[in-house]
Amino acid sequence: MPMAYVLINTEPKFMEKVVEILETLDAVVEIFPVYGVYDVVAKVQADSMDKLKEIVTWKVRSLDEVRSTITMLILDEKK
């Protein structure tokens, strides 16, 4: 099952709103508010690579509160 970590950059005042929106998405299985260059890290899981691309592009990156993202595809899960 394709998975990715999405590093999300947003305005600090929108971090909570972004987390709340991500919590409503079934494909988002973990959410981590973080300090640093990025503000939120989300683990996204989908049935196919096409579905994963669709979720990241149209449900995460398209949010008005999101300035930028970096998507890291998970190659394999260990431990």
pLDDT of residue 77: 84
Q: How far is the C-alpha of 53 from the C-alpha of 62, rounded, in Å?
A: 12
Report the CATH fold assignment for 3-73.
Alpha-Beta Plaits (3.30.70)
Global confidence as pTM:
0.93
pLDDT tens digits for range 21-32: 999 999 999 999
Question: What is the SS3 assignment for 70?
Answer: strand
21: amino acid identity, one letter: I
pLDDT tens digits for range 43-61: 999 999 999 999 999 999 9
Q: How far is the C-alpha of 55 from the C-alpha of 45, rounded, in Å?
A: 9
